[in-house]
Amino acid sequence: MGIRIITDSTSDIGIREAAGLGITVIPLKVIFDGKEYKDGIDITIDEFYEKLAAAECLPTTSQPSPDDFLEYFIEGKKANDSIIVIVIASKLSGTFQSAMIAREMAEYEDIHIIDSNTTTCALRILVEQAVKLRDEGKGTEEIVETLIELRDRIVLLAMVDTLEYLHKGGRLSKSSTILGTLLKFKPIITVKEGAIGVLGKERGLNKAIGRVVDEIGVFGEIDTSYPIFLGYTARDEQSRLLRDKLNEKYGLMDLPMHPVGCVVGTHAGPGACMITYVKKQ
Protein backbone atom coordinates (compact mmCIF):
# COMPACT_ATOMS: atom_id res chain seq x y z
CA MET A 1 0.00 0.00 0.00
CA GLY A 2 1.45 3.32 -1.10
CA ILE A 3 0.53 6.93 -1.70
CA ARG A 4 -0.12 8.17 -5.24
CA ILE A 5 0.02 11.90 -6.00
CA ILE A 6 -1.87 13.38 -8.94
CA THR A 7 -1.94 16.97 -10.15
CA ASP A 8 -2.88 18.76 -13.37
CA SER A 9 -0.83 20.41 -16.09
CA THR A 10 -1.36 23.95 -14.81
CA SER A 11 1.24 23.05 -12.16
CA ASP A 12 3.70 23.37 -15.07
CA ILE A 13 5.36 20.11 -14.11
CA GLY A 14 6.41 18.39 -17.32
CA ILE A 15 6.12 14.69 -18.12
CA ARG A 16 9.79 13.88 -17.50
CA GLU A 17 9.88 15.87 -14.28
CA ALA A 18 6.68 14.17 -13.12
CA ALA A 19 8.26 10.78 -13.71
CA GLY A 20 11.25 11.80 -11.59
CA LEU A 21 8.96 12.96 -8.79
CA GLY A 22 6.86 9.82 -8.99
CA ILE A 23 3.59 11.63 -9.68
CA THR A 24 0.91 11.75 -12.38
CA VAL A 25 0.01 14.92 -14.29
CA ILE A 26 -3.43 15.14 -15.92
CA PRO A 27 -3.42 17.55 -18.87
CA LEU A 28 -5.92 20.33 -19.41
CA LYS A 29 -6.66 21.24 -23.01
CA VAL A 30 -6.25 24.27 -25.25
CA ILE A 31 -8.26 24.67 -28.46
CA PHE A 32 -7.07 26.68 -31.48
CA ASP A 33 -9.61 27.04 -34.30
CA GLY A 34 -11.46 23.91 -33.23
CA LYS A 35 -8.33 21.75 -32.89
CA GLU A 36 -7.72 20.42 -29.38
CA TYR A 37 -4.27 20.02 -27.86
CA LYS A 38 -3.41 18.39 -24.55
CA ASP A 39 -1.35 20.82 -22.50
CA GLY A 40 2.29 19.74 -22.48
CA ILE A 41 1.63 16.60 -24.53
CA ASP A 42 0.32 17.52 -27.99
CA ILE A 43 1.88 20.98 -28.02
CA THR A 44 5.08 22.35 -26.49
CA ILE A 45 5.20 25.62 -24.61
CA ASP A 46 7.22 27.27 -27.40
CA GLU A 47 4.78 26.06 -30.06
CA PHE A 48 1.87 27.34 -28.01
CA TYR A 49 3.23 30.88 -27.69
CA GLU A 50 4.08 30.99 -31.40
CA LYS A 51 0.48 30.08 -32.23
CA LEU A 52 -0.88 32.47 -29.62
CA ALA A 53 1.05 35.42 -31.04
CA ALA A 54 -0.29 34.69 -34.53
CA ALA A 55 -3.88 33.98 -33.52
CA GLU A 56 -6.62 36.45 -34.41
CA CYS A 57 -8.92 34.96 -31.78
CA LEU A 58 -7.90 33.83 -28.33
CA PRO A 59 -7.86 30.04 -28.00
CA THR A 60 -10.19 28.43 -25.50
CA THR A 61 -9.27 26.06 -22.71
CA SER A 62 -11.07 23.14 -21.10
CA GLN A 63 -10.68 20.94 -18.05
CA PRO A 64 -9.97 17.21 -18.11
CA SER A 65 -12.99 14.92 -18.19
CA PRO A 66 -13.85 12.66 -15.23
CA ASP A 67 -12.63 9.72 -17.34
CA ASP A 68 -9.18 11.33 -17.52
CA PHE A 69 -8.95 10.92 -13.75
CA LEU A 70 -10.90 7.70 -13.47
CA GLU A 71 -8.31 5.40 -15.05
CA TYR A 72 -5.73 6.48 -12.46
CA PHE A 73 -8.24 6.20 -9.62
CA ILE A 74 -9.08 2.64 -10.66
CA GLU A 75 -5.37 1.75 -10.83
CA GLY A 76 -4.89 3.08 -7.30
CA LYS A 77 -7.97 1.28 -6.05
CA LYS A 78 -6.75 -2.06 -7.43
CA ALA A 79 -3.39 -1.52 -5.71
CA ASN A 80 -5.11 -0.49 -2.47
CA ASP A 81 -3.12 2.77 -2.52
CA SER A 82 -4.08 6.13 -1.08
CA ILE A 83 -4.55 8.81 -3.75
CA ILE A 84 -3.92 12.51 -3.15
CA VAL A 85 -5.10 14.84 -5.92
CA ILE A 86 -4.03 18.52 -5.96
CA VAL A 87 -5.56 20.64 -8.72
CA ILE A 88 -6.03 24.17 -10.03
CA ALA A 89 -8.44 26.43 -8.13
CA SER A 90 -12.06 25.41 -8.60
CA LYS A 91 -12.95 29.07 -9.26
CA LEU A 92 -10.61 29.08 -12.26
CA SER A 93 -11.41 25.69 -13.82
CA GLY A 94 -13.79 22.75 -13.68
CA THR A 95 -10.87 20.37 -13.09
CA PHE A 96 -11.72 19.97 -9.39
CA GLN A 97 -15.30 19.04 -10.24
CA SER A 98 -14.16 16.47 -12.81
CA ALA A 99 -11.96 14.84 -10.18
CA MET A 100 -14.84 14.78 -7.69
CA ILE A 101 -17.11 13.08 -10.23
CA ALA A 102 -14.39 10.55 -11.02
CA ARG A 103 -14.05 9.73 -7.31
CA GLU A 104 -17.75 8.90 -7.15
CA MET A 105 -17.44 6.77 -10.26
CA ALA A 106 -14.45 4.90 -8.79
CA GLU A 107 -16.38 4.08 -5.61
CA TYR A 108 -13.20 4.28 -3.57
CA GLU A 109 -12.97 6.21 -0.31
CA ASP A 110 -9.20 6.58 -0.14
CA ILE A 111 -9.10 9.41 -2.71
CA HIS A 112 -8.35 12.86 -1.26
CA ILE A 113 -8.99 15.78 -3.63
CA ILE A 114 -7.54 19.17 -2.68
CA ASP A 115 -8.65 22.43 -4.25
CA SER A 116 -5.34 24.31 -4.33
CA ASN A 117 -7.09 27.72 -4.59
CA THR A 118 -4.30 28.69 -6.98
CA THR A 119 -2.45 27.63 -10.12
CA THR A 120 0.89 27.51 -11.99
CA CYS A 121 4.04 27.78 -9.80
CA ALA A 122 1.95 28.18 -6.64
CA LEU A 123 0.30 24.83 -7.35
CA ARG A 124 3.78 23.42 -7.94
CA ILE A 125 4.75 24.39 -4.37
CA LEU A 126 1.92 22.28 -2.96
CA VAL A 127 2.72 19.33 -5.20
CA GLU A 128 6.41 19.37 -4.34
CA GLN A 129 5.58 19.54 -0.64
CA ALA A 130 3.27 16.54 -1.02
CA VAL A 131 6.09 14.61 -2.70
CA LYS A 132 8.55 15.62 0.03
CA LEU A 133 6.22 14.48 2.81
CA ARG A 134 5.39 11.23 1.05
CA ASP A 135 9.08 10.46 0.55
CA GLU A 136 9.72 11.20 4.24
CA GLY A 137 7.23 8.47 5.07
CA LYS A 138 4.38 10.67 6.29
CA GLY A 139 0.87 9.23 6.26
CA THR A 140 -1.94 10.31 3.98
CA GLU A 141 -3.92 12.20 6.63
CA GLU A 142 -0.86 14.13 7.79
CA ILE A 143 0.04 15.07 4.21
CA VAL A 144 -3.49 16.28 3.43
CA GLU A 145 -3.73 18.29 6.66
CA THR A 146 -0.33 19.89 6.02
CA LEU A 147 -1.23 20.84 2.44
CA ILE A 148 -4.52 22.44 3.48
CA GLU A 149 -2.72 24.51 6.13
CA LEU A 150 0.00 25.46 3.66
CA ARG A 151 -2.50 26.36 0.94
CA ASP A 152 -3.70 29.38 2.91
CA ARG A 153 -0.17 30.73 3.21
CA ILE A 154 0.77 30.62 -0.48
CA VAL A 155 1.05 33.96 -2.27
CA LEU A 156 1.03 34.52 -6.03
CA LEU A 157 1.86 37.99 -7.36
CA ALA A 158 2.18 38.71 -11.07
CA MET A 159 2.64 41.41 -13.68
CA VAL A 160 0.94 41.13 -17.05
CA ASP A 161 3.03 42.63 -19.84
CA THR A 162 0.26 43.57 -22.24
CA LEU A 163 -3.49 44.12 -22.23
CA GLU A 164 -3.85 42.61 -25.71
CA TYR A 165 -4.72 39.11 -24.55
CA LEU A 166 -7.19 40.34 -21.96
CA HIS A 167 -8.92 42.15 -24.83
CA LYS A 168 -8.84 39.06 -27.06
CA GLY A 169 -10.53 37.16 -24.25
CA GLY A 170 -13.26 39.80 -23.98
CA ARG A 171 -11.98 41.25 -20.70
CA LEU A 172 -11.25 44.77 -22.02
CA SER A 173 -12.65 47.05 -24.69
CA LYS A 174 -10.49 47.85 -27.71
CA SER A 175 -10.22 51.50 -26.67
CA SER A 176 -8.96 50.49 -23.20
CA THR A 177 -6.45 48.15 -24.76
CA ILE A 178 -5.08 50.82 -27.09
CA LEU A 179 -4.90 53.38 -24.29
CA GLY A 180 -3.16 50.98 -21.94
CA THR A 181 -0.66 50.01 -24.64
CA LEU A 182 0.15 53.61 -25.52
CA LEU A 183 0.65 54.57 -21.90
CA LYS A 184 2.56 51.33 -21.22
CA PHE A 185 0.36 50.43 -18.29
CA LYS A 186 1.03 46.97 -16.88
CA PRO A 187 -1.57 45.36 -14.61
CA ILE A 188 -0.50 43.81 -11.30
CA ILE A 189 -2.60 40.81 -10.31
CA THR A 190 -2.86 38.14 -7.64
CA VAL A 191 -4.71 34.88 -7.08
CA LYS A 192 -6.34 34.91 -3.66
CA GLU A 193 -8.80 32.35 -2.32
CA GLY A 194 -8.99 30.85 -5.78
CA ALA A 195 -9.94 34.03 -7.66
CA ILE A 196 -7.96 36.49 -9.75
CA GLY A 197 -7.73 39.98 -8.27
CA VAL A 198 -6.33 43.13 -9.86
CA LEU A 199 -4.14 45.10 -7.46
CA GLY A 200 -3.63 48.01 -9.83
CA LYS A 201 -1.53 48.95 -12.82
CA GLU A 202 1.78 50.74 -13.18
CA ARG A 203 3.23 52.76 -16.01
CA GLY A 204 6.41 51.18 -17.32
CA LEU A 205 8.19 47.91 -16.70
CA ASN A 206 10.46 49.00 -13.86
CA LYS A 207 7.64 50.52 -11.83
CA ALA A 208 5.47 47.46 -12.43
CA ILE A 209 8.19 45.04 -11.31
CA GLY A 210 8.87 47.26 -8.32
CA ARG A 211 5.17 47.16 -7.42
CA VAL A 212 5.21 43.35 -7.46
CA VAL A 213 8.17 43.37 -5.06
CA ASP A 214 6.51 45.97 -2.83
CA GLU A 215 3.32 43.91 -2.60
CA ILE A 216 5.27 41.20 -0.78
CA GLY A 217 5.31 43.52 2.23
CA VAL A 218 1.52 43.77 2.01
CA PHE A 219 0.76 40.07 1.52
CA GLY A 220 3.25 38.69 4.03
CA GLU A 221 6.93 38.10 4.62
CA ILE A 222 8.54 35.24 2.69
CA ASP A 223 9.18 32.00 4.58
CA THR A 224 12.47 30.97 3.01
CA SER A 225 12.24 27.44 4.43
CA TYR A 226 9.87 26.71 1.51
CA PRO A 227 10.55 26.94 -2.24
CA ILE A 228 10.25 30.32 -3.96
CA PHE A 229 9.47 30.15 -7.66
CA LEU A 230 9.43 32.68 -10.46
CA GLY A 231 7.27 32.08 -13.52
CA TYR A 232 7.17 33.63 -16.96
CA THR A 233 5.19 33.41 -20.18
CA ALA A 234 7.09 33.05 -23.47
CA ARG A 235 9.95 35.43 -22.55
CA ASP A 236 12.00 35.40 -19.36
CA GLU A 237 13.43 38.95 -19.49
CA GLN A 238 10.81 40.35 -17.10
CA SER A 239 11.27 37.42 -14.75
CA ARG A 240 15.03 38.01 -14.71
CA LEU A 241 14.44 41.66 -13.80
CA LEU A 242 12.08 40.56 -11.03
CA ARG A 243 14.74 38.15 -9.77
CA ASP A 244 17.32 40.95 -9.66
CA LYS A 245 15.01 43.25 -7.69
CA LEU A 246 14.14 40.46 -5.25
CA ASN A 247 17.84 39.86 -4.72
CA GLU A 248 18.44 43.58 -4.11
CA LYS A 249 15.65 43.92 -1.55
CA TYR A 250 15.56 40.51 0.11
CA GLY A 251 18.91 38.90 -0.72
CA LEU A 252 17.21 36.08 -2.62
CA MET A 253 19.72 34.63 -5.05
CA ASP A 254 19.37 32.13 -7.90
CA LEU A 255 15.62 31.70 -7.63
CA PRO A 256 14.38 29.02 -10.08
CA MET A 257 12.33 30.26 -13.03
CA HIS A 258 9.68 28.11 -14.71
CA PRO A 259 7.89 28.68 -18.01
CA VAL A 260 4.12 28.96 -17.65
CA GLY A 261 2.15 26.57 -19.82
CA CYS A 262 -0.69 26.81 -22.29
CA VAL A 263 -3.77 27.19 -20.10
CA VAL A 264 -2.59 30.03 -17.87
CA GLY A 265 -0.60 31.50 -20.77
CA THR A 266 -3.78 31.79 -22.84
CA HIS A 267 -5.09 34.46 -20.51
CA ALA A 268 -1.85 36.08 -19.34
CA GLY A 269 -0.24 36.40 -22.78
CA PRO A 270 3.52 36.58 -23.46
CA GLY A 271 5.78 38.64 -21.24
CA ALA A 272 4.03 38.10 -17.91
CA CYS A 273 6.09 37.30 -14.83
CA MET A 274 5.25 36.19 -11.32
CA ILE A 275 6.56 35.19 -7.94
CA THR A 276 5.01 32.50 -5.75
CA TYR A 277 6.05 31.82 -2.18
CA VAL A 278 4.85 30.73 1.26
CA LYS A 279 4.36 33.54 3.74
CA LYS A 280 5.45 33.28 7.35
CA GLN A 281 2.86 32.39 9.96
Q: What is the pLDDT of residues 211-259, one digit of tens each?
A: 999 999 999 999 999 999 999 999 899 999 999 999 999 999 889 999 9
Strands (E), the chain: 3-8, 24-26, 29-32, 35-38, 60-62, 82-87, 111-115, 154-159, 185-192, 195-203, 229-232, 257-259, 273-278
Q: What is the pLDDT of residues 52-67, one digit of tens each?
A: 888 888 899 999 999 9
Whether 190 has a pLDDT exceeding 80, the answer reads: yes
Q: Which residues contact 244 (CB under 8 A, 6 or more apart)?
A: none
Task: Flag whether the pTM goes above 0.75.
Answer: yes
Q: Sorting pLDDT into bands at 50, 70 and 90, what band is 179?
A: very low
Q: What is the pLDDT of residues 102-150, one digit of tens each?
A: 999 999 999 999 999 999 999 999 999 999 999 999 999 999 999 999 9
Across the chain, mean pLDDT equals: 91
Domains of the chain: 3-27+65-151 (3.40.50.10440), 154-278 (3.30.1180.10)
* Separation of first and last alpha carbons in the chain: 34
Q: Sorting pLDDT into bands at 50, 70 and 90, what band is 183?
A: low
